[in-house]
């Protein structure tokens, strides 16, 4: 375990370094605060298997996602700034090429193109016919962002390690003490502890009563040598540039699952779908799976515990961690440092009663 100066009191002890823990530590340090990030490299992270896409529209009706006009510019700035700090190319703008899977989806695109259209553009199906079947035509979504999450989290971790701000260990809540001045964990004193441990928070006696609804998702990593990698392709499946001629292909949304492992059912389904869509050869090189820290309300859990304000949580990002994590990590730190409010739909205030009544003790 990394040696820590146990006499110095930290501002933040951050549990978990997925997307959310990365952004919490980034904004804490940016605000001139001190922090230590504890992450267990043997515990799975949704962020490690995510495709890293921020798509401003969603669903069969191709409608704009929640608050995307706010989140998209914020995220683009945030990832660009972090990339500059890390001297790493982590963010690119890549259009989504829609390969309409049915007449209904083609009509849905045409309708949205004519009504309340911000992000849609028409394109030529002939541009894609060399490598894909396009019987129902194509369309395009602009201003989509792709983030190289693995590069970002790896480089940020290296920076934290270099600055003695990272511990690779499994956090166990029974080692935590809440003191009058904050918290104490294995000799480390901090004013606050923040849980950004994804589905780990579902076991936390102080936060497990939040309405988490974890959701399993899988992806194949596929080599498609002749597919241009400047765009994301969306059909019944999504194909996202991953690295060189490797593509991320997914996903599914399983609310009921027996384990977190990759399943043969998913692999067969994706291979069949790829065979039907592509005119060019492909080779599956990997199969990954993760659990999204989703919730019943589809809104994050952000704020301080109503009874123990030394404890906070920034979690519940569900399927949209890439756009939500920078924005709400920033709000969380601003709230702690300057008392600025957290967006009402994401604030922990909405669970005040249940957290007061049912919170455990250590």
Distances, alpha carbon 232 to alpha carbons 101, 119, 145, 147, in Å: 15, 15, 10, 12
Tell me how far, at minimum, the Cβ of 357 lies from ligand FAD, in Å. Answer: 25
Number of H helices, E strands in the chain: 8, 21
Neighbouring C-alpha atoms within 13 Å toward the C-beta of 270:
27
Tell me how far, at minimum, the Cβ of 159 lies from ligand FAD, in Å. Answer: 16
Tell me how far, at minimum, the Cβ of 180 lies from ligand FAD, in Å. Answer: 25
Neighbouring C-alpha atoms within 13 Å toward the C-beta of 49:
25
How far is the C-alpha of 195 from the C-alpha of 24, rounded, in Å?
10
How many other C-beta atoms lie within 10 A of the C-beta of residue 130? Answer: 11
Angle subtended by helix axes 149-162 and 68-86, to nearest 10? 50
Tell me how far, at minimum, the Cβ of 56 lies from ligand FAD, in Å. Answer: 12
- Cβ closer to ligand FAD: 29 or 54? 54
Distances, alpha carbon 43 to alpha carbons 20, 175, 310, in Å: 15, 18, 25
In the beta sheet, which residues pair with residue 312?
194, 304
How far is the C-alpha of 42 from the C-alpha of 175, rounded, in Å?
19
The answer to whether the beta carbons of residues 50 and 352 sit under 8 Å apart is no
Tokens 């949304």 belong to: 253
- Cβ closer to ligand FAD: 182 or 200? 200
- Cβ closer to ligand FAD: 21 or 182? 21
What angle is formed at CA 290 by the lines to CA 332 and CA 58, rounded to 5 degrees? 70
- Cβ closer to ligand FAD: 19 or 141? 19
Tell me how far, at minimum, the Cβ of 114 lies from ligand FAD, in Å. Answer: 28
Neighbour-count burial for 327-345, b at 16+ CB within 10 Å, e otherwise: bbbbbbbebbeeeeebeee
Tell me how far, at minimum, the Cβ of 68 lies from ligand FAD, in Å. Answer: 11
Phi, psi of 177 (to 5 degrees): -120, 135
- Cβ closer to ligand FAD: 55 or 138? 55
- Cβ closer to ligand FAD: 39 or 143? 39
Tell me how far, at minimum, the Cβ of 103 lies from ligand FAD, in Å. Answer: 27
- Cβ closer to ligand FAD: 106 or 150? 150
User: Tokens for 230?
Assistant: 């400047």
**Cis status, amide bond into 251, omega within 30 of 0:** yes
- Cβ closer to ligand FAD: 134 or 331? 331
Tell me how far, at minimum, the Cβ of 115 lies from ligand FAD, in Å. Answer: 26
Binding residues for ligand FAD (CB under 6 A): 15-21, 38-40, 43, 45-47, 49-53, 170-171, 196-198, 200, 217-219, 250-251, 290, 292-293, 315, 317-323
Tell me how far, at minimum, the Cβ of 18 lies from ligand FAD, in Å. Answer: 2
- Cβ closer to ligand FAD: 219 or 274? 219
φ/ψ region of 236 (left if φ > 0, alpha if ψ in -120 to 50, else beta) reads alpha
């Amino acid at each position: 375990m990394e040696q820590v100066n146990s006499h110095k009191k930290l501002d933040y002890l951050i549990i978990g370094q997925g997307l959310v823990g990365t952004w919490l530590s980034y904004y804490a340090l940016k605000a001139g605060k001190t922090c230590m990030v504890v992450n267990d490299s043997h515990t799975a992270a949704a962020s490690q298997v995510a495709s890293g896409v921020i798509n401003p529209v969603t669903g069969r009706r191709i409608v704009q996602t929640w608050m995307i006009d706010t989140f998209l510019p914020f995220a683009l700035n945030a990832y660009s700034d972090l990339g500059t700090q890390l001297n790493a190319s982590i963010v690119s703008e890549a259009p989504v090429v829609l390969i309409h899977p049915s007449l209904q989806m083609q009509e849905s695109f045409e309708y949205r193109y004519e009504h309340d259209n911000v992000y849609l553009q028409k394109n030529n199906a002939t541009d894609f016919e060399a490598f894909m079947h396009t019987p129902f035509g194509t369309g395009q979504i602009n201003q989509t962002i792709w983030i190289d999450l693995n590069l970002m989290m790896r480089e940020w971790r290296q920076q934290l390690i270099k600055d003695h701000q990272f511990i690779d260990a499994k956090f166990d809540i029974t080692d935590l003490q809440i003191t009058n001045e904050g918290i104490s964990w294995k000799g480390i004193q901090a004013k606050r502890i923040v849980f950004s441990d994804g589905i780990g928070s579902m076991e936390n006696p102080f936060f497990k009563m939040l309405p988490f609804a974890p959701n399993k998702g899988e992806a194949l990593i596929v080599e498609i040598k002749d597919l241009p990698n400047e765009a994301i392709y969306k059909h019944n499946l999504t194909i996202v540039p991953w690295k060189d001629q490797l593509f991320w292909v997914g996903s599914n949304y399983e609310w009921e699952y027996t384990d977190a492992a990759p399943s043969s059912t998913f692999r067969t389904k994706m291979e069949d779908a790829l065979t039907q869509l592509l005119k060019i050869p492909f080779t599956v090189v990997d199969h990954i799976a993760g659990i999204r820290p989703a919730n019943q309300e589809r809104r994050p859990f952000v704020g301080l515990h109503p009874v123990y304000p030394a404890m906070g949580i920034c979690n519940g990002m569900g399927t949209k961690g890439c756009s939500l994590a920078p924005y709400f990590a920033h709000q969380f730190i601003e709230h702690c440092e300057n008392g600025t409010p957290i967006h009402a739909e994401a604030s922990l205030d909405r669970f005040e009663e249940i957290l007061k009544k049912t919170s455990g003790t250590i």
